[in-house]
A and B are shown apart, each in its own frame.
Chain A
Amino acid sequence: DAMVIQNPRYQVTQFGKPVTLSCSQTLNHNVMYWYQQKSSQAPKLLFHYYDKDFNNEADTPDNFQSRRPNTSFCFLDIRSPGLGDAAMYLCATSKGGRASDTQYFGPGTRLTVL
């Protein structure tokens, strides 16, 4: 009965080689988020989708892109990963549209850049 699923849980890529992380949800939530969490730091929001409406945080590097082909799936694309992009990437979802809107997180994908 997993609600927010992230695959793979661990991903290894090479410096500069594009990588895609995936997230799916069974909650039928309108909003999907991607966070980056570096070692010993708090999660940091990269961007989110409200339905098909993409919202980028101002300080998210251009190297990070996202796609949401349908309600259930959302992808994080890193076009040219650098060593500094090694982190845990967290996907979250919420219903949206209310002042009280709980986010539900997936287990995360830990990205290693060699």
Chain B
Amino acid sequence: DAKTTQPPSMDCAEGRAANLPCNHSTISGNEYVYWYRQIHSQGPQYIIHGLKNNETNEMASLIITEDRKSSTLILPHATLRDTAVYYCIVRVGNYGQNFVFGPGTRLSVLP
């Protein structure tokens, strides 16, 4: 079973920040949080991952709470092309063999 819970759907206005929450209350100390997204009929696309510290790259920012029980993915200026299913995954195992996908959040960016 997935170790994460996410809202099933969210809407965001184009140009606004999209904040996607994820709960992972049973996360262990050495488990990373990964975010992927999947645009319709394509393979999942890696976005970002982190352990404890907040992370930022060209696509998004990842904010992890101090107790590590939840995180938020931030798309700073959402575009229509960001419409996708976003998956928050807590990776277990030595080399990621247990990448268990939950149902994800369907983000709709509205014009």
Contacts and interface: CB of A to CB of B under 8 A. Distances in A.
Interface stretch (A64-72, A74-82, A91-99): A91-99
Q: How large is the interface on B (under 10, 10 to 19, 20 to 34, 35 or more residues)?
A: 20 to 34
Contacts of A100: 32, 49, 51
Contact of B99 (A41, A45, A96): A45
B42 A97 contact: no
A104 interface: yes
A102 B34 contact: yes
DSSP majority for the B interface? loop
Interface in B75-101: 87, 91, 94-101
A105 B51 contact: no
Contacts of A110: 41
Interface of B: 2, 30, 32, 34, 36, 41-46, 49, 51, 87, 91, 94-104
List the 6 closest pairs (A to B, CB-CB), nearest first.
Answer: A105-B43, A42-B101, A96-B95, A101-B96, A105-B44, A107-B43
Interface of A: 4, 6, 30-31, 33, 41-45, 48, 50, 55, 88, 90, 92, 94, 96-108, 110
